[in-house]
């Protein structure tokens, strides 16, 4: 059984200039215990997709959803908000990039972890404390009891992110969504946090959706990759196939922007001219055509569907055969 399944999800925001569709026709599946990556340049809709799964946006004022999202065969978009709260945290947890603003500065680490434990497991405060210390250990934190007594400002950036992960783990989620969890951290700490997430994926058999724009990280950690461009999936494949034989020109360009051994990293996407268009100016035809070196007539007329090119590999490109 699939743990999570999106069918033709679309998320539209109400803005001053009318509705803007940030994500369109998104379909993919995640199995229990699987680690998948969602990659793409900033602004392509990665966070919107995952925040939609958790229904974190104001549905009265801000968003309208289309399509379907299933979690263990339950229709998420149809659930009453109380039921949704049980799923958030209890079943699906999310770790964000910015741990400092996600933690509450006036509460200790213990307060913040036990809040979630007690909410979901109904433990006594003492048992919750033991559990909290255990979660900190799981998150690779030494001297957990000392850390429990501290406030967020007393912790380093890496330590705060570990605390966020401990909070996420406290409710024993079946799925962890990690939204660029290491972005604000320095490189060695990034590697440690990624190791930690991988380790938890394997030890706890917890499925992970890793959002990142760093393909180098993906190569080491995930089994399957979804590549997004301008609100749509343009390629989906097992990691090895994606790296060995990318089937979409956008993925090709992303792969070329992986840092070299010397650590050099082009800060703009190698070989891609132009920049990501605005959502209000989505090109006719293939969304990537204006930046694509292979674009020809049909590409500018009709947006290609995401179709299988092999049994395990999908691409949204009219010219995939020439790549
Ligand atoms: N609250 C919002 N209102 C209007 N547009 C939004 C809102 N949140 C995100 N968007 C738009 O949705 C698109 C995708 O954003 P996002 O998912 O955050 O990108 P990323 O892939 O970097 O996570 C962007 O164009 C962004 O401007
Ligand atoms: Mg984002």
What are the structural domain ranges in the chain?
2-82+213-322
Residues in the chain: 323
Q: Give the global pTM.
A: 0.91
What is the DSSP pairing of strand 307-310 with strand 313-315?
antiparallel
129 contacts 110 by C-beta, under 8 angstroms: yes
| Helix axes 109-121 and 81-90, enclosed angle (nearest 10) | 120
Nearest to 50 by CA among 203, 206, 176: 176
Element (H, E) at 216: helix 215-221
The token duo for 256 is: 């070329």
Nearest CA to ligand 1 atom 12: 22
Q: How far apart are CA 311 and CA 323, in angstroms?
A: 17
The token duo for 140 is: 């690779």
221 contacts 194 by C-beta, under 8 angstroms: yes
Of the ligands numbered here, which is closest to the C-alpha atom of 38? Answer: 1
30 contacts 209 by C-beta, under 8 angstroms: yes
The token duo for 26 is: 């998104």
Of the ligands numbered here, which is closest to the C-alpha atom of 279? Answer: 1
What is the DSSP pairing of strand 207-212 with strand 175-179?
parallel
Q: Ligand 1 test: best mutation among 12, 13, 276, 281, most atoms within 8 Å of CB?
A: 13
Q: Residues with Cβ within 6 A of ligand 1? A: 13, 15, 20, 22, 40, 42-48, 62, 279
Nearest CA to ligand 1 atom 2: 13
Dist. CA 152 → ligand 1 center (Å): 28
Dist. CA 85 → ligand 2 center (Å): 22
The token duo for 316 is: 């949204």
Nearest CA to ligand 1 atom 20: 43
Pick the CATH number of 2-82+213-322 from 3.40.50.1100, 3.40.50.300, 3.40.50.720, 2.40.160.10: 3.40.50.300
pLDDT tens per residue across all 323 residues of the chain: 799 999 999 999 999 888 999 999 999 999 999 999 999 988 999 999 999 999 999 999 999 999 999 999 999 999 999 999 889 878 999 998 776 778 999 999 999 999 877 766 778 888 889 999 999 998 899 999 999 999 999 999 889 989 999 998 888 899 999 999 887 788 888 888 888 888 889 988 999 999 987 787 888 789 999 999 999 999 999 999 999 999 999 999 988 876 654 555 544 455 566 778 888 888 899 999 999 999 999 999 999 999 999 999 999 999 998 88
CA 269 vs CA 42, 54, 194, 275: distances in Å: 12, 31, 24, 9
């Amino acid at each position: 059984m699939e743990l999570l399944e999106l069918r033709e999800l679309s998320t539209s925001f109400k803005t001053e200039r009318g509705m803007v569709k940030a994500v369109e026709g998104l379909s993919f599946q995640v199995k229990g215990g699987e680690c998948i990556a969602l990659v793409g340049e900033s602004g392509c809709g990665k966070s919107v997709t995952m925040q939609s799964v958790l229904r974190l946006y104001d549905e009265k004022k801000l968003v309208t959803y289309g399509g379907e999202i299933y979690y263990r065969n339950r229709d998420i978009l149809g659930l009453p908000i109380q039921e949704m709260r049980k799923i958030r945290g209890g079943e699906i947890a999310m770790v964000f990039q910015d741990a400092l603003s996600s933690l509450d500065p006036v509460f200790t680490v213990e307060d913040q972890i036990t809040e979630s434990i007690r909410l979901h497991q109904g433990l006594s405060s003492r048992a919750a404390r033991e559990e909290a210390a255990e979660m900190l250990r799981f998150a690779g934190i030494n001297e957990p009891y000392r850390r429990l007594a501290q406030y967020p400002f007393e912790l380093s950036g890496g330590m705060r992110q570990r605390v966020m992960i401990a909070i996420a783990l406290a409710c024993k989620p079946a799925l962890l969504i990690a939204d660029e969890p290491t972005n604000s951290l320095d490189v060695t700490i990034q590697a440690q946090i990624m190791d930690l997430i991988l380790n938890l994926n394997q030890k706890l058999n917890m499925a992970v959706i890793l959002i990142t724009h760093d393909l180098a990280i993906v190569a080491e950690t995930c089994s399957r990759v979804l590549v997004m461009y301008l609100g749509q999936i343009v390629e989906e494949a097992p990691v090895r196939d994606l790296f060995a034989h990318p089937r979409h020109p956008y993925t090709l360009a992303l792969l070329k922007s992986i840092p070299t051994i010397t650590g050099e990293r082009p800060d703009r996407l190698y070989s891609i001219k132009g920049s990501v268009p605005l959502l209000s100016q989505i090109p006719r035809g293939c969304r990537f055509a204006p930046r694509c070196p292979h674009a020809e007539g049909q590409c500018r007329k009709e947006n290609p569907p995401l179709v299988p090119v092999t049994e395990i590999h999908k691409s949204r490109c009219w010219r995939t055969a020439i790549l």
